[in-house]
């Protein structure tokens, strides 16, 4: 009797907007707003492309091919419900996931060293399959 309702629960939870339940970090929202070029409250692929192209990777200029790969990976990961738009809540979800990945000693803080390591991993050339 309860089975159909229980089965529907995960779907209902996914459909519920998370924005009201979880506050968006002000710093993250500021970053979101900087990327949201047309200020419609969502990030599109074009806006992410533009943002990644401006991304500061230290002294090294981001190679265009790398930038495209990063924005593709970023967008596909961030757009949790695959509607082609990234909301502040989706971006926060991604950043939380990234933070826990970069926080290698799991003290809840992404230190400068951890950030530098993460950044080095981003700009490092992607592993190339061995040519034969």
Contact footprint for Ca ion (CB under 5 A): 36, 38, 40, 79, 81, 83, 85
Nearer to Ca ion, 29 or 85 (CB): 85
Q: Work out the number of other CB atoms within 10 angstroms of the CB of residue 102.
A: 15
* Minimum distance of Ca ion from residue 31's CB (angstroms): 13
Nearer to Ca ion, 43 or 70 (CB): 43
Report, in Å, the least distance between residue 40 CB and Ca ion.
4
Find the shortest distance in angstroms from Cβ 20 to Ca ion. Answer: 16
- If we measure between CA atoms, which residue out of 60, 38, 80, 84 comes closest to residue 51? 38
Alpha-carbon gap, residue 52 to 46, rounded angstroms:
10
Q: What angle do CA 24, 29, 32 make, to 5 degrees?
A: 130
Q: Which CB, 66 or 90, lies closer to Ca ion?
A: 90
Instruction: Say if residue 50 is exposed, middle or buried (CB neighbours under 10 Å; 0-12, 13-18, 19+).
Output: middle
Distances in whole angstroms, Cα of residue 18 to Cα of each of 30, 69, 82, 90, 99 = 19, 28, 15, 9, 19
Shortest gap between Cβ of 89 and Ca ion (angstroms)? 9
By beta-carbon proximity to Ca ion, the closer residue of 27 and 39 is 39
């Amino acid at each position: 009797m309860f089975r159909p309702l229980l089965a529907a629960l995960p779907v209902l939870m996914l459909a519920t907007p998370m924005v009201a339940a979880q506050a968006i970090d002000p710093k993250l929202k500021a970053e979101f707003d900087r990327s949201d070029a047309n200020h419609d409250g969502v990030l599109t692929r074009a806006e992410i492309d533009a943002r990644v192209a401006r991304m500061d990777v230290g002294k090294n200029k981001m190679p265009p091919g790398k930038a495209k790969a990063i924005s593709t990976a970023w967008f596909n990961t961030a757009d949790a419900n695959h509607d082609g738009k990234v909301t502040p809540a989706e971006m926060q979800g991604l950043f939380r996931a990234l933070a826990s990945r970069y926080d290698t000693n799991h003290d809840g803080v992404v230190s400068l060293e951890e950030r530098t390591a993460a950044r080095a991993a981003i700009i490092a050339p992607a592993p190339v399959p061995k040519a034969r």
